[in-house]
Amino acid sequence: MRDEPRFAVVGNPENRRVGLFARAATEAGLPAPRVVPWRDVLRDGGAAFAADEVVRLDSPGEDAEVDRALRDMDDPTRVEGSARWYARFTAAVRTLDGGRRLDDPDELAVLFDKRRCHRRLAEARVPVPASPTSGAAAPAVRGWADVRALMREHAMPRAFVKLAHGSSASGVLAVETAGGGRVQATTSVESADGRLHNSLRVRRITREAEIAALVDALAPDGLHIERWLPKASLHGRVADLRIVVVDGRATHAVVRTSRSPLTNLHLGGARGDLGAAIEAAGVRWEQALEICERAAACFPGTLCVGVDLLPAIGWRRFAVGEVNAFGDLLPRLTGLPGSGAEGLDTYAAQIAAVRARAASPTEVRPPYEPAAHEPAAYEPAADDCAAPVPAPHGQAPPVPAPHDAARHVPAGHEPSRSQAPRTRHATL
């Protein structure tokens, strides 16, 4: 019988993520994890771990000293510096030596580059929004003129423009164009004294010159463009899902709803009714979870990811918006029925998965390999595209009508997750 795992966590000691994982470990009867602060890793040029330590990396965010070391920014609300953050963070990850890693350094480098992540998913035939910037070889977006040209060339009247290395909707613009040269953008980015700041206020910009100035200022950090897919709604609010996949298995899900295109909870989004979403998806709920598991399978060396899933209007189809390396912060949320994580939060589920790996060391998952054929991006069907074009200046666009979910659910159908667990990841 194998010894129980001994965890070490690289994170910010005062952060709630580290505290929640430590609590899950002690509640599971394990010793409290050894915490290695990111500030020490960055200051000392690395950290070493014992051969029997199971090493988990947690987010370096929400710490002013660490943010300063990664981005050279004294104000955490500043948007700029994400390319510098990416270069320094991925370099720091590679300075960690020893232990048994739950986060593969090469995979983290892909997960924190939206262009490379999009390409990897598309190559694996995971449905994703179409993108003219997919992959490391895609042409650089130098500013607003390039965004306009790419949207026109690829027939994208609506698109999301994102920082290639951004997170938490930092630097995101939802751009809409219409006849007569009209354009508007929805964003939480604000400009003050020539500097860009993240705000908690989502606003609509209707002056193209202002949109152009924002995009031009964001472009040096790298931009990624994706088709804006019309999303399903719940109770008159657009909706998407964050689904956590632990060791190849979709274990936790939360619905996020908003009256704006940005559903992030800190930007005014709200948790929606998961039961209503499952009912709306009907027999397609299993497909939704399977898509998320396929996305996670593109990163076999990473124990846990959070998948942002975009349901099409009517909950008929799904596409993956993003895959998040640190997407497991869902306090007090317990596992889906039949997932194997019932009664466990996301952290306890990961601890249980590590224990299961140790108990079944012969189950090995193959490494990621690109598909042999050309990838196909998700393209919306004609009836997916019922979203309104921008209203004239000064008028708010209409909110989509609530979807009548019940009529899409076969009588007596109850989604189930009772099938056998899928193959586990490689042996620790």
**405 and 259 fall within a common domain:** yes
Q: Looking at the domain assignment, is residue 320 inside a domain? A: yes
- Flag whether pLDDT at 142 surpasses 90: yes
Please write the tens of the pLDDT for every residue from 294-307. Answer: 999 999 999 999 99
Cβ atoms within 10 Å of 410's Cβ, excluding its own: 8
Cα–Cα distance for residue pair 303/350, rounded to 1 Å: 7
Opening angle at CA 242, ends 231 and 6, nearest 5: 165
The verdict on 243 and 356 lying in the same domain is yes
Give the whole-angstrom CA distance, residue 168 versus residue 179: 32
Single out the residue in 170, 197, 227 at which a domain terminates: 227
Bridge partners for 311 per DSSP: 318
Which tokens hold the place of 98?
């020893």
> What residues make up the domain containing 367?
230-373+389-428
My answer on whether 243 and 195 are in the same domain is no
Mean pLDDT of the chain: 87
Q: Are 205 and 248 in a shared domain? A: no
Q: Note whether residue 300 is domain-resident.
A: yes
- Do 342 and 414 belong together in one domain? yes
Question: Which pair of structure tokens corresponds to residue 145?
Answer: 């003129």
My answer on whether 424 and 338 are in the same domain is yes
Identify whether residues 62 and 196 lie together within a single domain.
Answer: no
Counting residues of the chain whose pLDDT is more than 70, the rounded percentage is: 84
Asked, for residue 112, whether it belongs to a domain, the answer is: no
Provide the token pair at 351: 């601890």
Same domain, 159 and 265: no
Q: Is residue 53 part of a domain?
A: yes
Q: Is residue 118 part of a domain?
A: no
Where residue 409 sits, what CATH number does that domain have? Answer: 3.30.470.20
CA distance 70 to 87: 8
Q: Looking at 144-182, which runs of residues are DSSP E strands?
A: 158-163, 173-177
206 and 146 in a common domain:
yes
Q: Is residue 312 part of a domain?
A: yes
- When pLDDT is cut at 50, 70 and 90, the band that residue 1 belongs to is very low
Tokens encoding 202: 């989502």
pLDDT digits (tens, 9 = 90+) for 259-279: 889 888 787 788 999 999 999
Q: What is the pTM of this model?
A: 0.87
- The span from the first CA to the last CA of the chain, in angstroms, equals 15
| Cα–Cα dist 242/24, whole Å | 21
Is residue 393's pLDDT more than 50?
A: no
pLDDT at position 371 over 60: no
Judge whether 330 and 346 are in contact, CB under 8 Å: yes
Q: Is 384 inside any structural domain?
A: no
pLDDT band at 180 (very low <50, low <70, confident <90, very high): confident
The 10s digit of each residue's pLDDT in 88-113 is 999 999 999 999 999 999 999 999 99
Upper half-sphere CA count for residue 287 (Cβ side, 13 Å): 15
Separation CA 350–CA 301 (nearest Å): 14
Q: At what angle do helices 16-27 and 346-359 cross, to 10 degrees?
A: 50
Which neighbouring-strand residues pair with 365? Answer: none
CB 165 within 8 A of CB 171: no
pLDDT grade for 391, boundaries at 50, 70 and 90 = very low
Number of domains comprising the chain: 3
Q: What is the pLDDT of residue 334?
A: 98
Residues 219-240 pLDDT 10s:
999 999 999 999 999 999 999 9
Are 306 and 399 in a shared domain?
yes
Residue in the block written with tokens 């994703």? 128
Same structural domain, 242 and 369: yes
- 96 with 213, same domain? no
3-class secondary-structure state, position 211 = helix
Residue 245 lies in a domain: yes
